[in-house]
Amino acid sequence: MPPQLPIIIIGAGVAGLTLAQSLHELHIPFEIYERDTHISRVAGWGLTIHWALPALKSCLPPPLYQRLEEIQCDPQQGVKDTGRFLFLDLKTAEPRYVIPPSPRLRINRLKLRDLLVEGLDVRWGMAIAGFEVWEEGVRVRFDDGTVTRGSLLVGADGSGSRTRRFLVGEEVGRLNQLPVRLIGVTLRLTPEEVKPLRDIDPLLFQGCHPDTGDYLWYSILSTPEVNGSMGGDEYYEGQLNLSWIVKSPEDEVPTSNNDKIAKMKRMASNFEPRLRKVIQEIPEDSEALEIKLQDWPTRDWKSPGGRVTLIGDAAHAMTMCRSSIS
């Protein structure tokens, strides 16, 4: 009997690595390819895992799943977390909605990827160039001319998935630009500065301004225990994003970093005092990043011979931090 062809995974992000760990645990042969040359090239802030926790637990080897607690943004809060999700009125900082609590982990995205890659043989620097289905499986071609064969091709190559575009066509598979813009910064806060935010919620909260539709997301990235400042010049790191609806050319993201920071401060002028203060005290030399808000709503795709499929953002590219369109 010929050996079983491997499952070919394209993309070594969170979804691709999770699938690979599950296949490894089940002793199912696989190969995983990533276009980046090394794992450290991918940046990121934090990641909240809540409703997906049971599914993630079922995919990972138990020792690996247990180590998720080691990469929490705030390990102490993780011990006593309420699991609640607040959506605030930014004018008053009062909750408009409280999503029913559920178990959650707020973890560092880069550390999660470092954890998930353990024990896996990722083929780095390999970008998919196309595929062909044949009787016994699928042939996958890469930009460097390499060809591999597998029983199944799984596109886990993110929101801009090449696999998706090869599968459904360039026009159908491309991302949709939303009429919303976003700027994000990483804050470095003293214990005194972070306290008003942690009083609202120790881990994260979000909200929208009722008059402007401007949206805010805040979450903790690290505590003194995590960033190594405990017992010295202690500080916290937080992720703060603002997004807004584009109604005219004046609503586009400014070009210079200083102008991005200035725009964030203007937007916060009518926020509740605690929220306004933390934004208006952002240092002028902070790096302000624009995040493109694009999506690809899931739609039917034909899987030739049942040999090609998509997972994660390749299958359903959702945006982060959208303001209300209504």
pLDDT digits (tens, 9 = 90+) for 142-180: 999 999 999 999 999 999 999 999 999 999 999 999 999
pLDDT at 324: 42
Rg of the chain taking only CA atoms, in angstroms: 22
pLDDT at 39: 82
pLDDT at 323: 45
CATH code, domain with 111: 3.50.50.60
Task: Map 3-56 to HEC letters.
Answer: CCCCEEEECCCHHHHHHHHHHHHCCCCEEEEECCCCHHHCCCCEEEECCCHHHH
**Which residues constitute the domain of residue 158?**
7-75+105-175+295-314
Q: What is the pLDDT of residues 4-40, one digit of tens each?
A: 899 999 999 999 999 999 999 999 999 999 999 988 6
More confident residue, 308 or 47: 308
pLDDT at 76: 87
Same domain membership, residue 167 and residue 141: yes
Q: What is the mean pLDDT of the chain?
A: 92
Same domain membership, residue 231 and residue 165: no
In a domain, 96, yes or no: no
Q: What is the pLDDT of residues 275-294, one digit of tens each?
A: 999 999 999 999 999 998 99
In a domain, 259, yes or no: yes
Residue 126 has pLDDT above 80, yes or no: yes
User: What domain count does the chain have?
Assistant: 2
Same domain membership, residue 114 and residue 20: yes
Mean pLDDT calculated for residue range 58-68: 95
pLDDT at 103: 87
Model confidence at 226, in pLDDT bands (50, 70, 90)?
very high
Q: What is the pLDDT of residues 250-279, one digit of tens each?
A: 999 999 999 999 999 999 999 999 999 999
In a domain, 321, yes or no: no
Model confidence at 41, in pLDDT bands (50, 70, 90)?
low
Model confidence at 83, in pLDDT bands (50, 70, 90)?
confident
Same domain membership, residue 302 and residue 281: no
In a domain, 221, yes or no: yes
Going along the chain, which residue ranges are E strands? 7-10, 30-34, 46-49, 85-89, 94-99, 105-108, 122-124, 128-134, 137-142, 147-150, 152-155, 176-177, 180-189, 204-208, 215-222, 236-245, 289-290, 294-295, 308-310
The active-site residue, picked from 215, 218, 235, 236, is: 215
Model confidence at 42, in pLDDT bands (50, 70, 90)?
low
Over pLDDT 70: what percentage of the chain? 95
Q: Catalytic: 215? A: yes
